[in-house]
Amino acid sequence: MPSSVPAAPQPAEPVSPVSVTEGAVEHSVDFIRPHLRAHAATHVALYAGVQINGAPHLGTGVLQTAAFLLAEAARDRLGVDAELRFGALDNAPCQTRLCPRTGTLYTRSYHHAAGPDRILELVKRFYSGLFDALSAMTGVPYTVETYTRQQRTPAFREEFLASLAQWDRLRFTLAPSSGHVPISFPCPRCGWLQKHGENTELLAFDGSRARFTAVCLDHGRHEAEVGPRGDAYVGLTTLHRNVVKERLAAREAALPVIVKGADWAAGCRLLDEAHLCFPGGRPPARFLTPVVLSASGAKLSKSLMRQGKAELSPDTPPWMLDATRWEGTTQEYASTLHRLVSLMLSAPEHFERGYTTAEVVRLLGRTGSGPRG
pLDDT at res. 373 = 43
- Total residue count of the chain as it appears in this document: 373
Closest-CA residue to 360 (of 322, 308, 313): 313
Contacts (Cβ under 8 Å, ≥6 apart) of 343? 11, 13, 14, 350, 363
**114 CB-contact burial (10 Å; exposed 0-12 / middle 13-18 / buried 19+):** middle
The Cα 240–Cα 267 span in angstroms is: 11
pLDDT of residue 255: 98
The per-residue pLDDT for 301 is 76
Closest CA to 84 of 32, 123, 138: 138
**pLDDT profile of the chain (373 residues), mean per 10:** 47 86 95 96 96 90 98 98 97 95 95 95 95 98 97 97 98 97 96 95 96 96 94 96 98 97 97 98 97 87 65 82 93 97 97 95 71 47
Contacting residues for 307 by C-beta, under 8 A, at least 6 apart = none
End-to-end Cα distance, the chain = 49
What pLDDT score was predicted for residue 303? 67
Q: What is the pLDDT of residue 311?
A: 67
| 28-93+111-170+238-364, CATH topology level | Rossmann fold (3.40.50)
pLDDT of residue 66: 98
What residues have CB less than 8 Å from 127, skipping those under 6 apart? 50, 56, 64, 86, 144
Q: Which pLDDT does position 244 carry in this prediction?
A: 98
pLDDT value at residue 2: 45
Cα(64)–Cα(323) distance, integer angstroms: 13
In this predicted structure, what is the pLDDT of residue 12?
81
Q: What's the distance, CA 174 to chain centroid?
A: 18
